[in-house]
Amino acid sequence: MSSTLKAARNAAASTIAWTLYHAPELERRYANAAHAARALPLLHTLFRETTDRLVDRLVHARRQYRRVNLGVVAPLFDVSSFTVKGQYFAHVPYEPGATDAVLSRLTPGGVFIDIGANAGYFSVLAGLCVGSAGQVFAFEPNPLVREQLQHHVDLNGIGNRVTVADVALADRCQDDVPFFVSCWQDNTGISSLTPSAETIARGGLREDRTIAVRVRTFDAWAAAIHLPRIDLIKIDVEGAELQVLSGMSQTFAANPPRALICETRPDSPAADLLRGQGYRSAIVDAIPGGIPNLLFERPVQ
């Protein structure tokens, strides 16, 4: 793209963003147009640049909260978050298979565990599905992200059923464990106890960007909670899935989850462990160039 064309595109993006900022009633029409333009590279880039400029304005003015229609629920979210920005501004769903699994498998009174909850996308959906008689437990060790998570819980009025925990789950109980926090401002979801060499090479995580967190096993935590049942667990811990599952041996024996969603490859040790526990797996989100979400369920007896 020539510098002249790029400058014209950026000027147009700034103008559209200014218009939308001052006329938020146009956002739905904008999202429809952005969705239709996805297959046209030049227009798609224009809409992406426009959305980024609009979001920057909204965040600066603290006006970034919107209702996002997701199936049977419409939670309030910070639309600058990577989990909902595409959904709100272009009707591009975030992890639609996992989203559908949460919405379809949780009913009033249900119990959901969100391991690696990030800013609370799935925790909030679950909290709205399980109702006041249900329970949601959201684990997020990164304090800055956990603050966003708690704010989303409070914003949606579900603090009576969502418990936010500040620990990382793994295969041991230990304090002051290094936790690598994301260096990418637009994607806080790559933080991890076990950073991959690829993510470090790409600059997403760095040795000098760690915080000390508490690590516990799921079994140790669950023993103190005395859950009657577990309907669904979601695990998104950027490479530490096997550690989390290895800390659940007592749970699998005494109170096995009805279903789990896990971001892992079909041939991974984590997937093998779950299949060894009697679960059958299916890919629900095949993420291009990334690691899929697998749904694990036991056959109905």
- Rounded to whole angstroms, the Cα distance separating 157 from 168 reads 25
* pLDDT recorded at residue 173: 94
Instruction: Label residue 200 left, alpha or beta by phi (over 0 means left) and psi (-120 to 50 means alpha).
Output: alpha
| Number of neighbouring beta carbons within 10 Å of residue 266 | 12
| Number of neighbouring beta carbons within 10 Å of residue 74 | 13
Across the beta sheet with 210-217, what order do the strands follow? 168-170, 210-217, 174-180
CATH fold label, 96-297: Rossmann fold (3.40.50)
- Rounded to whole angstroms, the Cα distance separating 236 from 213 reads 17
- Rounded to whole angstroms, the Cα distance separating 277 from 224 reads 23
Q: Domain residues of the chain, as ranges?
A: 3-87, 96-297
Partnered with residue 178 across adjacent β-strands are 212
Q: Going residue by residue through the chain (301 aa), what tens digit of pLDDT does each one get?
A: 688 889 999 999 999 999 999 999 999 999 999 999 999 999 999 999 999 999 999 999 999 999 999 989 999 999 999 999 999 999 999 999 999 999 999 999 999 999 999 999 999 999 999 999 999 999 999 999 999 999 999 999 999 999 999 999 999 999 998 888 877 776 676 777 777 667 665 667 677 778 799 999 999 999 988 888 999 999 999 889 999 999 999 999 999 999 999 999 999 999 999 999 999 999 999 988 889 999 999 987 6
* pLDDT recorded at residue 201: 57
- The pTM score is 0.93
% helix / strand / coil in the chain, to the nearest 5?
Answer: 45, 20, 35
| Number of neighbouring beta carbons within 10 Å of residue 125 | 26
Instruction: Find out whether 248 and 61 touch, Cβ atoms under 8 Å.
Output: no
- Rounded to whole angstroms, the Cα distance separating 152 from 158 reads 9
Residue type, 124: V
Instruction: Find out whether 237 and 293 touch, Cβ atoms under 8 Å.
Output: no
Which two structure tokens, joined as six digits, stand for 216?
A: 């516990």
- Rounded to whole angstroms, the Cα distance separating 55 from 83 reads 14
Instruction: Label residue 69 left, alpha or beta by phi (over 0 means left) and psi (-120 to 50 means alpha).
Output: beta
**How far is residue 256 CA from its own chain's centroid?**
23
What is the residue whose two structure tokens read 């920005």? Answer: 85
Instruction: Find out whether 268 and 148 touch, Cβ atoms under 8 Å.
Output: no
* pLDDT recorded at residue 257: 97
